[in-house]
Amino acid sequence: MRFATIRHLGIKELRSLARDPIMLGLILFAFTAAIYSAATAMPETLNKAPISIVDEDRSPLSARIVDAFYLPHFLSPVMITQAEMDARMDAGLDTFALNIPPEFQRDLLAGRQPTIQLNVDATRMSQAFTGSGYIQTMITSEVTEFVQRYRGVAAPPVDLALRARFNPSLTQAWFGAVMEVINNVTMLSIVLTGAALIREREHGTIEHLLVMPVTPCEIMTSKVWAMGLVVLVACAFALVFVVQGLLSVPIEGSLVLFLAGTALHLFATTSMGIFMGTIARSMPQFGLLLMLILMPLEMLSGGVTPRESMPDWIQVIMQIAPTTHFVSLAQAILYRGAGLDVVWPQCAILVVIGAVFFGITLVRFRKTIGILG
């Protein structure tokens, strides 16, 4: 290969990308607004859940229960009648509807076990699951304090000393921001290289390249380094200015080491993008093919669900996916501050996977070039 030729062809790819406002907008959105929204859209706790209460007891205890619901976990309770409860739930106005029965306080003080009815709109999955536990704990606490005349906490038989490592405050936004960067690196590297090849085929410039003294390997290598460089620069920008700057997420490890590992990952994913570009004949076809490939790569890589909880056969199959090892490498460096002595196995595996993907794609690309010629 002639490196001067590869450099000039890569610069041509960068100029072509610079004239594509849609792709530039996608890159800008993926590494700014998408990361911010993914981080802030992961709620830490229940937040502003709408609740209505039917208070048929009208006692001091029921008033205490009503007053226990306030911001930020719940909106101010709407006091309604029994007849309004079902209609409001059907209209989607309330996630929770609490019904305190008549004589609730008197039955409780008499030693009976009265029941409070809680209606939950289960279509709101996250709020329904989390909020039910919140409400149970809050009502139990208020009733216990009312009966005992003080708010006491029973001493547990075993004292659990909790030590949360790598995320002491258990802030979910930290996880969401970094994982969105990882996912967007994979997505954009595949999209940019595949779209670059399809764009040349649609514009007819691929035929111009066939009559020039360039080889398929040089053409493919130029697309890999050019699009990989764009994603790498965008990734570095997102980590420094969006993740660390705007979201104030601490990065424990070396950014240089992470970007080096990202480059190895891009070697594999850009090759995948070119391979998919040789299969698809248009951008709509490429988009459909992308959904079939990208979703399993992201969902089964271990970033969303721990790989240990997946079936054994899926764990074996996903060993050949570069995202599996990239997620492991990225989490080790960015979350736990790992060095090269820890992540070198993932780096070595990414090199092997990238070389295999590049070789397979080059064979396919040569066949496609031969057909077009």
Domain ranges of the chain: 3-41+171-372, 51-148
Number of CB atoms found within 10 A of residue 207's CB? 12
Give per-residue burial for 49-72: e unless 16+ CB within 10 Å, then b.
bbbbbbbebebebbebbbeebeee
Question: Between the CA of residue 111 and those of 8, 62, 64, 147, 368, what are the distances in Å?
Answer: 86, 17, 19, 10, 82
Contact 247, 39 (CB under 8 A): yes
Contact 223, 193 (CB under 8 A): yes
Report the alpha-carbon distance of residue 18 to residue 2 in Å, rounded: 25
Across the chain, which has 373 residues, the per-10-residue mean pLDDT values are 84 89 92 89 73 93 92 90 89 91 90 90 80 89 81 62 72 82 94 88 71 82 93 95 90 92 94 90 88 89 82 90 93 90 94 93 81 50
Give residue 207's pLDDT. Answer: 67
Report the alpha-carbon distance of residue 171 to residue 126 in Å, rounded: 17
Give residue 155's pLDDT. Answer: 60
**Among 260, 237, 240, which residue's Cα sits nearest to residue 250?**
240
Q: pTM here?
A: 0.77
Report the alpha-carbon distance of residue 281 to residue 36 in Å, rounded: 34
The top-level CATH class assigned to 51-148 is alpha beta
Give residue 160's pLDDT. Answer: 73
* β 96-100/117-120 pair status: antiparallel
CA dihedral 365, 368, 369, 370 (to 10 degrees): 120
